[in-house]
Amino acid sequence: MLPTTPDAAAAVDPAAFAAELEAWLQTHPPAVVRASEHVADYPTRVRIMQDLMQVLWDESFVRYGWPVEVGGLGGSFLHRAAMWEGLARHGVLGMNLFEHLEVLLPTLVELGPRDFTAEHVPLYLSGREIWSQGFSEPGAGSDLAALRTKAVADGDGYRISGQKIWTSWSVWADWCCVLARTGTTESRHRGITAFIVKLSDPGVEVRGIWQANGNEELAEVFFDDVFVPADRIVGELDGGWRVAMHILSHERGTFAWFRHNFLYQQLIEFGASSPDAPEFLLGDALLDLVAATACSANGVKEHAAGEILGPRACTNKLMLCTAEQSVQDAILAGDVDLAVGVQDELTDLLRQEYLFSRIVTVYGGSQQMQLETIAKQVLKLP
Protein backbone atom coordinates (compact mmCIF):
# COMPACT_ATOMS: atom_id res chain seq x y z
CA MET A 1 0.00 0.00 0.00
CA LEU A 2 1.08 3.56 -0.65
CA PRO A 3 2.00 5.58 2.45
CA THR A 4 -0.67 8.00 3.64
CA THR A 5 1.52 10.31 5.71
CA PRO A 6 3.43 13.20 4.13
CA ASP A 7 6.93 12.23 5.30
CA ALA A 8 6.69 8.71 3.89
CA ALA A 9 4.72 9.70 0.82
CA ALA A 10 7.33 12.19 -0.38
CA ALA A 11 9.63 9.31 -1.25
CA VAL A 12 7.14 7.57 -3.54
CA ASP A 13 8.24 7.95 -7.15
CA PRO A 14 5.63 8.26 -9.94
CA ALA A 15 6.31 4.75 -11.27
CA ALA A 16 5.62 3.16 -7.88
CA PHE A 17 2.52 5.31 -7.53
CA ALA A 18 1.24 4.23 -10.97
CA ALA A 19 1.86 0.56 -10.13
CA GLU A 20 -0.08 0.84 -6.85
CA LEU A 21 -2.91 2.64 -8.61
CA GLU A 22 -3.03 -0.03 -11.31
CA ALA A 23 -3.23 -2.79 -8.71
CA TRP A 24 -6.15 -1.01 -7.06
CA LEU A 25 -7.92 -0.42 -10.38
CA GLN A 26 -7.58 -4.11 -11.23
CA THR A 27 -9.92 -4.84 -8.28
CA HIS A 28 -12.70 -2.97 -10.16
CA PRO A 29 -13.70 -0.57 -7.38
CA PRO A 30 -17.46 0.14 -7.57
CA ALA A 31 -16.96 3.91 -7.84
CA VAL A 32 -14.69 3.43 -10.88
CA VAL A 33 -17.12 0.98 -12.47
CA ARG A 34 -19.97 3.45 -11.99
CA ALA A 35 -17.95 6.30 -13.51
CA SER A 36 -17.34 4.08 -16.55
CA GLU A 37 -21.01 3.54 -17.34
CA HIS A 38 -22.74 5.39 -20.18
CA VAL A 39 -24.91 7.92 -18.35
CA ALA A 40 -26.36 10.71 -20.47
CA ASP A 41 -27.92 12.79 -17.69
CA TYR A 42 -25.28 15.34 -16.74
CA PRO A 43 -26.39 16.06 -13.13
CA THR A 44 -26.19 12.31 -12.51
CA ARG A 45 -22.67 12.25 -13.94
CA VAL A 46 -21.76 15.09 -11.60
CA ARG A 47 -22.86 13.07 -8.56
CA ILE A 48 -21.04 9.98 -9.85
CA MET A 49 -17.80 11.94 -10.21
CA GLN A 50 -18.20 13.46 -6.74
CA ASP A 51 -18.52 9.95 -5.33
CA LEU A 52 -15.40 8.83 -7.24
CA MET A 53 -13.39 11.81 -5.98
CA GLN A 54 -14.36 10.96 -2.41
CA VAL A 55 -13.14 7.38 -2.88
CA LEU A 56 -9.89 8.58 -4.48
CA TRP A 57 -9.41 10.86 -1.47
CA ASP A 58 -10.14 8.07 0.99
CA GLU A 59 -7.63 5.83 -0.82
CA SER A 60 -5.15 8.76 -0.88
CA PHE A 61 -4.51 8.58 -4.65
CA VAL A 62 -5.84 12.08 -5.36
CA ARG A 63 -3.67 13.56 -2.59
CA TYR A 64 -0.43 12.70 -4.40
CA GLY A 65 1.06 15.45 -6.51
CA TRP A 66 -0.23 18.24 -4.25
CA PRO A 67 1.73 20.05 -1.50
CA VAL A 68 1.44 18.91 2.08
CA GLU A 69 0.46 22.47 3.09
CA VAL A 70 -2.89 22.11 1.30
CA GLY A 71 -3.70 18.57 2.40
CA GLY A 72 -1.68 16.74 -0.21
CA LEU A 73 0.96 14.05 0.23
CA GLY A 74 3.74 15.63 -1.79
CA GLY A 75 5.09 14.37 -5.07
CA SER A 76 4.84 16.09 -8.42
CA PHE A 77 2.60 16.78 -11.36
CA LEU A 78 3.64 13.34 -12.67
CA HIS A 79 1.57 11.66 -9.95
CA ARG A 80 -1.55 13.52 -11.03
CA ALA A 81 -0.87 12.79 -14.69
CA ALA A 82 -0.51 9.07 -13.89
CA MET A 83 -3.74 8.98 -11.86
CA TRP A 84 -5.98 10.36 -14.58
CA GLU A 85 -4.26 8.31 -17.28
CA GLY A 86 -4.96 5.16 -15.26
CA LEU A 87 -8.59 6.10 -14.65
CA ALA A 88 -9.12 6.75 -18.37
CA ARG A 89 -7.53 3.43 -19.31
CA HIS A 90 -9.91 1.64 -16.96
CA GLY A 91 -12.97 3.17 -18.56
CA VAL A 92 -13.73 6.36 -16.63
CA LEU A 93 -15.40 8.56 -19.24
CA GLY A 94 -13.99 11.96 -18.31
CA MET A 95 -13.18 14.48 -15.59
CA ASN A 96 -16.52 16.28 -16.00
CA LEU A 97 -16.58 19.30 -13.69
CA PHE A 98 -13.31 18.29 -12.03
CA GLU A 99 -11.37 19.55 -15.03
CA HIS A 100 -10.66 22.64 -12.94
CA LEU A 101 -8.50 20.50 -10.67
CA GLU A 102 -5.89 20.86 -13.40
CA VAL A 103 -6.90 24.28 -14.71
CA LEU A 104 -7.67 26.44 -11.67
CA LEU A 105 -6.34 24.57 -8.65
CA PRO A 106 -2.58 24.81 -9.47
CA THR A 107 -2.90 28.61 -9.51
CA LEU A 108 -4.85 28.69 -6.25
CA VAL A 109 -2.19 26.53 -4.63
CA GLU A 110 0.64 28.77 -5.80
CA LEU A 111 -0.94 32.23 -5.60
CA GLY A 112 -4.05 31.88 -3.43
CA PRO A 113 -4.38 33.04 0.21
CA ARG A 114 -2.61 30.44 2.37
CA ASP A 115 -5.17 29.76 5.10
CA PHE A 116 -8.13 29.73 2.73
CA THR A 117 -6.37 27.44 0.25
CA ALA A 118 -5.30 25.02 2.97
CA GLU A 119 -8.91 24.74 4.12
CA HIS A 120 -10.63 24.41 0.75
CA VAL A 121 -8.25 22.43 -1.48
CA PRO A 122 -8.99 19.18 0.41
CA LEU A 123 -12.73 19.85 -0.02
CA TYR A 124 -12.30 20.17 -3.77
CA LEU A 125 -9.98 17.19 -4.11
CA SER A 126 -12.49 15.03 -2.25
CA GLY A 127 -15.47 16.17 -4.32
CA ARG A 128 -17.18 18.03 -1.50
CA GLU A 129 -16.80 21.45 -3.14
CA ILE A 130 -16.77 22.55 -6.76
CA TRP A 131 -15.13 25.57 -8.37
CA SER A 132 -15.72 27.71 -11.45
CA GLN A 133 -13.79 30.43 -13.23
CA GLY A 134 -15.27 33.88 -13.95
CA PHE A 135 -13.27 35.45 -16.77
CA SER A 136 -15.27 36.22 -19.94
CA GLU A 137 -17.89 38.95 -20.13
CA PRO A 138 -20.43 39.87 -22.83
CA GLY A 139 -18.07 42.59 -24.09
CA ALA A 140 -14.77 41.01 -23.07
CA GLY A 141 -14.22 37.50 -24.37
CA SER A 142 -11.12 37.24 -26.50
CA ASP A 143 -10.11 40.73 -25.31
CA LEU A 144 -10.04 39.84 -21.63
CA ALA A 145 -8.25 43.08 -20.71
CA ALA A 146 -11.44 44.96 -21.65
CA LEU A 147 -13.47 43.44 -18.80
CA ARG A 148 -15.80 45.80 -16.94
CA THR A 149 -16.85 43.93 -13.80
CA LYS A 150 -15.73 46.30 -11.03
CA ALA A 151 -14.44 45.80 -7.51
CA VAL A 152 -14.61 48.90 -5.29
CA ALA A 153 -12.83 49.06 -1.93
CA ASP A 154 -15.19 48.99 1.06
CA GLY A 155 -13.70 48.76 4.55
CA ASP A 156 -11.85 45.49 4.93
CA GLY A 157 -12.98 44.17 1.57
CA TYR A 158 -14.39 44.98 -1.86
CA ARG A 159 -17.82 45.28 -3.47
CA ILE A 160 -18.05 43.50 -6.83
CA SER A 161 -20.63 44.41 -9.47
CA GLY A 162 -20.87 43.19 -13.04
CA GLN A 163 -21.61 40.19 -15.22
CA LYS A 164 -19.68 37.13 -16.38
CA ILE A 165 -20.66 34.74 -19.14
CA TRP A 166 -19.57 31.29 -20.34
CA THR A 167 -18.49 30.49 -16.77
CA SER A 168 -18.03 26.72 -16.85
CA TRP A 169 -19.59 24.67 -14.00
CA SER A 170 -21.07 27.67 -12.15
CA VAL A 171 -24.48 25.97 -11.96
CA TRP A 172 -22.87 23.41 -9.61
CA ALA A 173 -20.01 25.44 -8.18
CA ASP A 174 -19.60 26.63 -4.61
CA TRP A 175 -16.79 29.09 -5.39
CA CYS A 176 -15.69 31.14 -8.39
CA CYS A 177 -12.35 32.77 -9.18
CA VAL A 178 -13.51 36.14 -10.54
CA LEU A 179 -11.48 38.73 -12.42
CA ALA A 180 -12.66 42.25 -11.60
CA ARG A 181 -11.39 45.71 -12.40
CA THR A 182 -9.77 47.52 -9.47
CA GLY A 183 -8.16 50.16 -11.69
CA THR A 184 -9.46 52.39 -14.44
CA THR A 185 -10.81 51.07 -17.73
CA GLU A 186 -7.79 52.61 -19.42
CA SER A 187 -5.42 50.61 -17.20
CA ARG A 188 -6.42 47.49 -19.14
CA HIS A 189 -4.59 44.40 -17.82
CA ARG A 190 -2.67 46.41 -15.19
CA GLY A 191 -5.83 47.23 -13.22
CA ILE A 192 -7.37 43.78 -12.74
CA THR A 193 -7.55 41.71 -9.55
CA ALA A 194 -8.56 38.07 -9.00
CA PHE A 195 -11.05 37.42 -6.19
CA ILE A 196 -12.49 34.26 -4.65
CA VAL A 197 -16.28 34.66 -4.53
CA LYS A 198 -18.76 32.37 -2.78
CA LEU A 199 -21.58 31.84 -5.25
CA SER A 200 -24.21 31.49 -2.54
CA ASP A 201 -23.45 34.95 -1.11
CA PRO A 202 -26.08 37.72 -1.28
CA GLY A 203 -25.99 39.59 -4.58
CA VAL A 204 -24.82 36.63 -6.70
CA GLU A 205 -27.18 35.19 -9.31
CA VAL A 206 -26.26 32.19 -11.49
CA ARG A 207 -28.26 31.46 -14.66
CA GLY A 208 -27.44 28.29 -16.53
CA ILE A 209 -26.99 28.41 -20.31
CA TRP A 210 -28.50 25.44 -22.14
CA GLN A 211 -26.09 24.28 -24.83
CA ALA A 212 -26.84 22.48 -28.08
CA ASN A 213 -25.79 19.19 -26.48
CA GLY A 214 -28.42 19.58 -23.75
CA ASN A 215 -26.09 20.40 -20.84
CA GLU A 216 -25.77 23.44 -18.58
CA GLU A 217 -22.00 23.35 -18.46
CA LEU A 218 -21.91 27.11 -19.01
CA ALA A 219 -23.64 29.91 -17.13
CA GLU A 220 -24.11 33.63 -16.76
CA VAL A 221 -23.18 34.98 -13.35
CA PHE A 222 -24.37 38.39 -12.12
CA PHE A 223 -22.75 40.25 -9.22
CA ASP A 224 -24.76 43.00 -7.54
CA ASP A 225 -22.67 44.80 -4.90
CA VAL A 226 -21.26 41.48 -3.62
CA PHE A 227 -18.96 41.90 -0.62
CA VAL A 228 -15.68 39.94 -0.76
CA PRO A 229 -13.15 40.13 2.11
CA ALA A 230 -9.71 41.42 1.18
CA ASP A 231 -8.16 38.14 2.33
CA ARG A 232 -9.82 36.40 -0.63
CA ILE A 233 -7.61 38.04 -3.23
CA VAL A 234 -5.58 35.63 -5.37
CA GLY A 235 -2.10 37.00 -5.97
CA GLU A 236 -1.75 40.74 -5.47
CA LEU A 237 -4.04 43.74 -5.78
CA ASP A 238 -4.03 44.76 -9.47
CA GLY A 239 -2.08 41.56 -10.15
CA GLY A 240 -4.99 39.64 -11.68
CA TRP A 241 -3.44 39.48 -15.13
CA ARG A 242 -0.61 37.34 -13.80
CA VAL A 243 -3.20 35.08 -12.16
CA ALA A 244 -5.15 34.80 -15.41
CA MET A 245 -2.05 33.94 -17.45
CA HIS A 246 -1.05 31.31 -14.87
CA ILE A 247 -4.49 29.71 -15.14
CA LEU A 248 -4.56 29.87 -18.94
CA SER A 249 -1.13 28.26 -19.11
CA HIS A 250 -2.68 25.19 -17.50
CA GLU A 251 -5.99 25.37 -19.38
CA ARG A 252 -4.28 25.67 -22.75
CA GLY A 253 -1.21 23.60 -21.95
CA THR A 254 -0.98 20.78 -19.46
CA PHE A 255 -4.74 20.10 -19.45
CA ALA A 256 -4.26 18.58 -22.91
CA TRP A 257 -2.57 15.58 -21.26
CA PHE A 258 -5.59 14.81 -19.11
CA ARG A 259 -8.24 15.27 -21.78
CA HIS A 260 -6.51 13.37 -24.57
CA ASN A 261 -6.29 10.19 -22.48
CA PHE A 262 -10.09 10.00 -22.48
CA LEU A 263 -10.16 10.63 -26.24
CA TYR A 264 -8.00 7.55 -26.82
CA GLN A 265 -10.55 5.44 -24.99
CA GLN A 266 -13.44 6.93 -26.98
CA LEU A 267 -11.66 6.20 -30.26
CA ILE A 268 -10.98 2.59 -29.24
CA GLU A 269 -14.47 1.90 -27.87
CA PHE A 270 -16.66 3.70 -30.39
CA GLY A 271 -14.50 4.31 -33.46
CA ALA A 272 -12.16 1.40 -34.01
CA SER A 273 -14.86 -1.09 -32.97
CA SER A 274 -17.28 0.16 -35.64
CA PRO A 275 -17.14 -1.74 -38.96
CA ASP A 276 -18.50 1.34 -40.76
CA ALA A 277 -15.87 3.84 -39.57
CA PRO A 278 -13.70 4.85 -42.57
CA GLU A 279 -10.11 3.78 -42.07
CA PHE A 280 -8.71 7.11 -43.24
CA LEU A 281 -10.70 8.94 -40.54
CA LEU A 282 -9.55 6.51 -37.88
CA GLY A 283 -5.98 6.98 -39.08
CA ASP A 284 -6.31 10.77 -39.00
CA ALA A 285 -7.73 10.64 -35.48
CA LEU A 286 -4.96 8.38 -34.24
CA LEU A 287 -2.24 10.57 -35.75
CA ASP A 288 -3.79 13.67 -34.23
CA LEU A 289 -3.91 11.96 -30.84
CA VAL A 290 -0.27 10.92 -31.09
CA ALA A 291 0.65 14.53 -31.89
CA ALA A 292 -1.33 15.64 -28.82
CA THR A 293 0.49 13.02 -26.75
CA ALA A 294 3.90 14.25 -27.86
CA CYS A 295 3.14 17.92 -27.16
CA SER A 296 1.32 17.39 -23.89
CA ALA A 297 3.93 14.94 -22.56
CA ASN A 298 6.57 17.63 -22.95
CA GLY A 299 4.29 20.02 -21.11
CA VAL A 300 3.84 17.52 -18.29
CA LYS A 301 7.62 17.14 -17.89
CA GLU A 302 8.20 20.88 -17.89
CA HIS A 303 5.42 21.46 -15.39
CA ALA A 304 6.80 18.73 -13.13
CA ALA A 305 10.14 20.56 -13.24
CA GLY A 306 8.46 23.73 -11.98
CA GLU A 307 8.30 25.56 -15.31
CA ILE A 308 5.33 27.45 -16.74
CA LEU A 309 4.59 26.95 -20.43
CA GLY A 310 3.43 30.49 -21.11
CA PRO A 311 2.55 31.18 -24.76
CA ARG A 312 3.88 27.77 -25.81
CA ALA A 313 0.77 26.31 -24.19
CA CYS A 314 -1.18 27.46 -27.24
CA THR A 315 0.41 24.68 -29.31
CA ASN A 316 -0.88 22.06 -26.89
CA LYS A 317 -4.38 23.51 -27.04
CA LEU A 318 -4.38 23.54 -30.84
CA MET A 319 -3.21 19.91 -30.96
CA LEU A 320 -5.88 18.86 -28.47
CA CYS A 321 -8.65 20.67 -30.36
CA THR A 322 -7.65 18.98 -33.62
CA ALA A 323 -7.57 15.56 -31.94
CA GLU A 324 -10.92 16.14 -30.22
CA GLN A 325 -12.67 16.93 -33.48
CA SER A 326 -10.91 14.15 -35.42
CA VAL A 327 -11.95 11.51 -32.89
CA GLN A 328 -15.57 12.65 -32.89
CA ASP A 329 -15.64 12.83 -36.71
CA ALA A 330 -14.47 9.21 -36.89
CA ILE A 331 -17.06 8.07 -34.34
CA LEU A 332 -19.88 9.86 -36.15
CA ALA A 333 -18.82 8.44 -39.52
CA GLY A 334 -18.96 4.95 -38.01
CA ASP A 335 -22.55 5.46 -36.83
CA VAL A 336 -24.34 8.27 -38.67
CA ASP A 337 -27.51 7.54 -36.67
CA LEU A 338 -25.84 9.42 -33.82
CA ALA A 339 -27.02 12.58 -35.55
CA VAL A 340 -30.72 11.69 -35.70
CA GLY A 341 -31.06 8.30 -34.01
CA VAL A 342 -33.22 7.14 -31.12
CA GLN A 343 -32.40 8.99 -27.93
CA ASP A 344 -31.13 6.06 -25.86
CA GLU A 345 -28.47 6.59 -23.20
CA LEU A 346 -25.44 5.77 -25.35
CA THR A 347 -26.65 7.68 -28.41
CA ASP A 348 -27.42 10.70 -26.26
CA LEU A 349 -24.01 10.58 -24.60
CA LEU A 350 -22.09 10.24 -27.87
CA ARG A 351 -24.13 13.04 -29.40
CA GLN A 352 -23.21 15.26 -26.48
CA GLU A 353 -19.53 14.47 -27.02
CA TYR A 354 -19.74 15.24 -30.74
CA LEU A 355 -21.51 18.57 -30.24
CA PHE A 356 -19.05 19.54 -27.52
CA SER A 357 -16.16 18.91 -29.92
CA ARG A 358 -17.50 21.65 -32.20
CA ILE A 359 -16.86 24.38 -29.61
CA VAL A 360 -13.36 23.41 -28.49
CA THR A 361 -11.75 25.78 -30.99
CA VAL A 362 -13.57 28.68 -29.31
CA TYR A 363 -13.54 28.15 -25.54
CA GLY A 364 -10.46 29.05 -23.51
CA GLY A 365 -9.39 31.41 -26.29
CA SER A 366 -10.32 30.93 -29.93
CA GLN A 367 -8.17 29.03 -32.39
CA GLN A 368 -7.40 32.32 -34.15
CA MET A 369 -6.18 33.85 -30.87
CA GLN A 370 -3.96 30.83 -30.21
CA LEU A 371 -2.40 31.12 -33.67
CA GLU A 372 -1.84 34.85 -33.20
CA THR A 373 -0.16 34.25 -29.85
CA ILE A 374 2.16 31.65 -31.35
CA ALA A 375 3.01 33.95 -34.26
CA LYS A 376 3.79 36.98 -32.11
CA GLN A 377 5.12 35.57 -28.84
CA VAL A 378 6.76 32.30 -29.89
CA LEU A 379 7.83 32.82 -33.51
CA LYS A 380 8.32 36.59 -33.03
CA LEU A 381 6.69 37.36 -36.35
CA PRO A 382 5.85 41.03 -37.12
Same domain (yes/no): 207, 298: no
Phi-psi region of 214 (alpha: psi -120 to 50; beta: other; left: phi over 0): left
Domain enclosing residue 211, as ranges: 132-234
Same domain (yes/no): 171, 293: no
Count of domains forming the chain: 3
In the predicted model, is pLDDT for residue 10 greater than 70? no
Query: What are the distances in angstroms from CA 29 to CA 38, 226, 248?
Result: 17, 43, 34
- pLDDT category at 226 given cuts 50, 70, 90 is very high
- pLDDT category at 280 given cuts 50, 70, 90 is very high
CATH number of the domain enclosing 352: 1.20.140.10
Task: Using alpha carbons, select from 106, 138, 141, 150 the residue that is nearest to residue 124.
Answer: 106
The average confidence (pLDDT) of the chain is: 92
Q: What is the pLDDT of residues 289-329, one digit of tens each?
A: 999 999 999 888 888 888 877 788 889 899 999 999 999 99
User: Which of 185, 209, 234 is the last residue before a domain boundary?
Assistant: 234
Same domain (yes/no): 263, 188: no
CATH number of the domain enclosing 198: 2.40.110.10
Active-site residue among 85, 102, 217, 251? 251
Same domain (yes/no): 221, 246: no
Give the DSSP letter of residue 66: B
Across the range 79-104, mean pLDDT stands at 93
In a domain, 271, yes or no: yes
In a domain, 127, yes or no: no
User: Which of 187, 210, 234 is the last residue before a domain boundary?
Assistant: 234
Task: Using alpha carbons, select from 144, 154, 155 the residue that is nearest to residue 194.
Answer: 144
Please provide the DSSP assignment of 295-313 as one string: HHHHHHHHHHTT---GGGH
Give the H/E segment covering residue 124. Answer: helix 114-125
pLDDT at 82: 95
Residue 236 among the catalytic residues: no
Same domain (yes/no): 230, 307: no
In a domain, 1, yes or no: no
Same domain (yes/no): 182, 260: no
pTM metric for this prediction: 0.92
User: Which of 86, 101, 116 is the last residue before a domain boundary?
Assistant: 101
Same domain (yes/no): 145, 249: no
pLDDT at 366: 84
In a domain, 217, yes or no: yes
In the predicted model, is pLDDT for residue 343 greater than 80? no
In a domain, 43, yes or no: yes
In the predicted model, is pLDDT for residue 52 greater than 90? yes
